[in-house]
Structure 1
């Protein structure tokens, strides 16, 4: 076993990994649950606060925008601040944001609460991955990341279902209030068990890099997020995207020239890392857009209620939760290709079935297809992240985590914006060319974007064929 693995094993024996994982993952689940849970209440909130649909959509856009801006900064913060400082800051931000949103009398305070919530999650997600890669040796990381993958998948997937149940029985305030006990649990467990496991370095925060990163990722996420409402050809959208891309290019050039960069882009010199980033982008692009498109199809084409939609999609999410630890152990035992390639194939099968659905599709067929799809995504999601980060030397972990988390959030924002826009355009085109049948139009729109998802899933399958276990892990083994 190499020195890094030995150090990690020693650390693993000295600290209680179970309570630490519980503290970090419960907070992560709450943050990712909050990412999608409020979407089902946007119509009600629009009427309540007397605002238009474009304005109320900022409750979702602002969340993504905050994640896209702040996640890249966490790479250097994890080197500058202790693990406990980062954790306490993250949980306090989430608690403050949740309380502010739950008690907001006006829309502005509700939006501010959402932004503060997202700021806490932007710290928590990279911190959790960094802690996992520090306290677990390589041969146990797959199982640990499998649990994190469960959280990253279950949080957004269960959000609309649980929020629908809450709205049917209580007010929208409870979408926030119900999460407070879990955040308090996470805070108490973290204070009691989480120790400082990261290496503190004397690094300075470069103001120019922070500004370029904020403009770059913020402009890109903002542009694609509002494109569905104001059009992809509007000056606001095109200007935001172009300015974002230019800022990202300048940011990358600056990082490569700095002795101590905010984000060390040398991580991209490792082929397995680049391959993993590409697969992560496609996975999150498809996954987060599917979580929006599929319920839209079921409610608009099949005329199923929002709550029933959530119940029909629940078995796939629950099965993934049950199997996540087993998938992680399979990754540890058999390596990436034995888990990820079959997973990508299951996603291809799921999309192939979805793309053929119409207005007369049986509900049981949707449930079965969703189970196949979620199991495939579960096999890909955490395993790709584990192999991607394991391909880097230990000193690049904070940078690699910040880069992969940023790519995932940006991919999700782009995926939702692009797929919803294409679905809406196809619906409008269908209604203009044929009879005024809204259900058929919704089916035609969803079929188009699901075929695009199928194409991307095939690309991911082909990329998975080039995966292998990092050489330094093979040598350690």
Structure 2
């Protein structure tokens, strides 16, 4: 008797179609692209919202007459709520069906956007962001699970390539669109713009996304839900506030301790439960484990460009949010164009060649950014960003596709939730660590540059004289003005050098991802795309 491989159980009769009717064959062509593109609406909105809100923070602070520490919760609470709801998406998808869950998530996100646009003070806005995150947190893993189930055998790379457009393009469009809306219309429109798109996306999803029959979800894992929610909430809060509160401060240490205890208990519960909230046994698939390990490492490098280059452009070069978005956009557009192409190549050559070559090229391009200076031409930065975007498309998509390609269909929802959690925690961890390093390096560079300012330095004596002759003030006043100017120059130069150091570290992290990439393989024998008839 031939034993059925793990995860390759007989699917329900209602979700089976003959091979001749399967999407991707000559009879049905590429009809699967339509529902995949429609599902992209929600994913694009959820990712776009994360970057578009940051632009409006100064305006919101002024409108509601609040301080920086309070207004930061508009961003922080959204991230924390995401960490709480993402683990629930797999079980809910099995219980309700992924189409129903997707539409519910999209409508919840849209309703939360409506509440945000109508907020009357900072507290109401923060509460509305929680409602928005309930939908936004489940959109991404649910979309990934639907794409994997819709796309036919042998075309998963193409489907995930289309899905990857939202991952890389939306973060770059956010600052540009947000800057325009805040500057020329009204800050509330960063939320209002979601309303017609969300409603349209829900209607299109209802008519064009195929039904995913609900499966036996089993009893709800209350213990797993509580421990994962508490653990992830404490971990993400500690990572987001560590630089502000101090990494050794009592609140941060307590948060890390609570997180470690709760996540440890969560792992124990999930491995001993008959029906766990997140089936951690998916890590027994080597490709899934290696791909997520690779994502954990490379996310640090990927977010260096997304997070620290805008800092350089806005603080170092004095650009506004909209102008910064325009500089970043060519790189995102290159990634968006290349994603489906990389997906096409994945279906033919597998993930290893694409991931290794992409990571090597991305490491090199990330390293080039350590040559940034105040005088670097904008055209050079745009060219580097475009080439770096090319590397990101090769480095990112094949690993995520390979991770899900080896997972049995009935576990895809849980696996996509795990992958989403790993990506979010890795991003928060990377930004926290790199920001801490940047702050230390900035202080070191400032001290080193300040050592050259001495009363015996002949160049400084000439500089005082030039200041005095230019301004026509007394020598002592000229010296004071000159010192004030030099302090600003030193502060700016130290900041730029610290950014340069970050790109070297990010390049090393990205390069480290090459090792697990060598062992990635393409999942074989998966039966995908059987929900379309």
TM-score strictly above 0.5: yes
**CA–CA distance in 1 between the matches of 2:441 and 2:260?**
28
Count of residues in correspondence between the two structures = 473
Matches within 5 A, 1:373-388: 373-388=388-403
Q: State the secondary structure of the residue aligned to 1:139.
A: coil
2:55–2:179: 8 Å Cα contact kept in structure 1? yes
Corresponding residue to 2:233 among 218, 229, 233: 218
2:304–2:506: 8 Å Cα contact kept in structure 1? no
**CA–CA distance in 1 between the matches of 2:262 and 2:384?**
41
**CA–CA distance in 2 between the matches of 1:180 and 1:213?**
31
Tell me by how many angstroms 1:255 deviates.
0.8
1:408-442 deviations in Å (ceiling 9; x for gaps): 11112222222223223322343344342222121
| Larger CA Rg, structure 1 vs 2 | 2
Corresponding residue to 1:317 among 329, 332, 335: 332
1:23–1:187: 8 Å Cα contact kept in structure 2? no
1:308-343 deviations in Å (ceiling 9; x for gaps): 221111111112222221111111112112322221
With the length of structure 2 as denominator, give the TM-score of the two structures. Answer: 0.84
Tell me by how many angstroms 1:11 deviates.
5.6
Match of residue 127 from structure 1: 142
1:228–1:417: 8 Å Cα contact kept in structure 2? yes
Matches within 5 A, 1:74-473: 74-435=89-450, 436=487, 437-472=490-525
Tell me by how many angstroms 1:15 deviates.
11
Tell me by how many angstroms 1:8 deviates.
9.1
**CA–CA distance in 2 between the matches of 1:316 and 1:232?**
34
Q: State the secondary structure of the residue aligned to 2:205.
A: helix
C-alpha RMSD of matched pairs (Å)? 2.2
**CA–CA distance in 2 between the matches of 1:268 and 1:450?**
31
Tell me by how many angstroms 1:65 deviates.
1.1
Instruction: Identify which range, 58-67 or 301-310, moves more after superposition.
Output: 301-310
CA 25–336 in structure 1, closer or farther in 2 if over 3 Å, else same: same
CA 119–30 in structure 1, closer or farther in 2 if over 3 Å, else same: same
Q: State the secondary structure of the residue aligned to 1:138.
A: coil
**CA–CA distance in 1 between the matches of 2:524 and 2:34?**
32
- The answer to whether the aligner puts 1:61 opposite 2:61 as a matched pair is no
Gaps of 5+ in 2: 1-7, 451-486, 528-533
1:440-472 deviations in Å (ceiling 9; x for gaps): 121122112211111101101232122222354
**CA–CA distance in 2 between the matches of 1:60 and 1:419?**
19
**CA–CA distance in 2 between the matches of 1:237 and 1:7?**
53
Match of residue 36 from structure 1: 51
1:182-217 deviations in Å (ceiling 9; x for gaps): 112101101212232244114111211111000111
Q: 1 or 2, which has the higher helix percentage?
A: 1
1:283–1:377: 8 Å Cα contact kept in structure 2? no
1:142-200 deviations in Å (ceiling 9; x for gaps): 11100111111111221112111222211211111122221121011012122322441
